[in-house]
Homo-oligomer: A and B are copies of this chain.
Amino acid sequence: MNTNVKRILESVEKGEMTSDEALLLLKSAPFEDLGYAKIDYHRSIRQGVPEVIYGAGKTPDQIKGILSSMIENGQDNILITRLSKEAAAKIAKSFDITYYTDARIACYGETPAPDGIGKIVVATGGTSDIPVAEEAAITAERFGNKVVRLYDVGVAGLHRLLAHKEEIMTASVIIAIAGMEGALASVIGGLADCPVIAVPTSVGYGAAFEGLSALLSMLNSCASGVSVVNIDNGFGAAYQASMINHMEAKS
């Protein structure tokens, strides 16, 4: 119950307002003022957590408008995801942003110092999965996490993966990214002792069916401790991974 409600109640208490007037006011007050929900689901709760603008389907001008408004409201750490190189170039004329080509993310403000429990490992099956992986990695870094990148460690060359068992065994959270048969999640899930968030990618052809094969494979993982996000959703995986990697900050 926020100050608005409190102020209304005080007015009633002081006799400045009747109970009927108060009832009316409470009724018409915007819901978010009552605190039943987060005003903005991207709003920073901890220090250093950025606002996020989903860039896909927005014009550079729309994005610039939102950016302005956010900056005016004092936000100094902003991510724009799924942003094309062209749109980023236009926005960069007005705002001091850093653009990550592979990740297709633009960032406003400084990358915060990592303040999580441990490190997030971002692993991919192949090199074609790297754009999704970079979306995850940059997101995780901007949310205050130390990130270890293990790219091209697909299960068909097991030695490549096993050569990094140290990183896998000591990770706080692992984001396992793979297209085609998506087996990486299960193999990592079997090696690791931490939550694994699997990201199927639309990499592949034929019976890969735009990521469906990897998605089903990951959902059926025989390893415990693996959950899955949408195809190519590097951001979503990193968002949840960051939540997990900041668990101790909560209680």
- Contacts A39-B159, A156-B186, A165-B31 given; indicate if A219 touches B229 (C-beta within 8 A): yes
Give the size of the chain A interface in residues (CB under 8 angstroms).
110
Contact present for A9 and B19 (CB under 8 Å): yes
A12's nearest neighbour on chain B, judged by CB, is B12
List B contacts of A236 (CB < 8 A).
Answer: 224-227
Contact present for A155 and B186 (CB under 8 Å): yes
Copies in the complex: 8
Give bound CA distance, A20 to B12, whole Å.
Answer: 12
Cβ-defined partner of A227 (8 Å) among B186, B194, B227: B227
List B contacts of A215 (CB < 8 A).
Answer: 206-207, 219
Tell me the smallest distance from the CB of A192 to a CB of chain B, in Å: 9
Tell me the smallest distance from the CB of A140 to a CB of chain B, in Å: 13
Does any Cβ of B come within 8 Å of A144's Cβ? no
List B contacts of A190 (CB < 8 A).
Answer: 37-38, 41, 155-158
Contact present for B220 and A213 (CB under 8 Å): yes
**B-contacting 9-mer, from A67-75, A88-96, A101-109, A124-132:** A124-132
Q: Which 6 A-B pairs have the closest CB atoms?
A: A206-B231, A183-B183, A37-B159, A9-B19, A31-B163, A156-B190
